[in-house]
């Protein structure tokens, strides 16, 4: 059963989304959104349900589009990614732009 793994991936995705959505005027450094961008960028196949899962010691194949958080939550993910990709910070902007391209 893949459900426990999917619930964990959904939890991580929710945290990533919250970190991407922080009000950048209220933070001194951009550590939180940068970490979220790195997590998202490094795990696009996981969030897109493209990778097989190791469940109970067995490799479970057959990702389903219905399991893709990137598809299901695109409307929630797009605004913060677009905002960060046009931010003035020289480190945050290229990272967000790269993740946005990877997600698309």
pLDDT tens by residue, 5-61: 778 889 999 999 999 999 988 777 889 999 999 999 999 888 887 666 555 555 555
Name the percent of the chain in helix, strand, coil, to the closest 5. Answer: 65, 5, 30
What pLDDT, on the 0 to 100 scale, is given for residue 76? 95
Structural domain of residue 58, as residue ranges? 3-103
Q: Quick check: 3 pLDDT over 60?
A: yes
Say how far apart CA 99 and CA 36 lie, in whole Å.
10
Q: How many domains does the chain have?
A: 1
């Amino acid at each position: 059963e893949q459900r426990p793994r999917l619930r964990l991936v959904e939890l991580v995705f929710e945290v990533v989304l919250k970190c991407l959505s922080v009000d950048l005027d209220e933070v001194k450094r951009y550590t939180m959104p940068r970490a979220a961008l790195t997590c998202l960028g490094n795990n696009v196949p996981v969030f897109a349900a493209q990778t097989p899962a190791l469940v109970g010691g067995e490799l479970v194949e057959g990702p389903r589009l219905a399991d893709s958080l990137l598809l299901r939550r695109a409307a929630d993910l797009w605004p913060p990614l677009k905002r960060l990709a046009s931010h003035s910070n020289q480190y945050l902007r290229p990272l967000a732009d790269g993740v946005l391209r990877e997600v698309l």
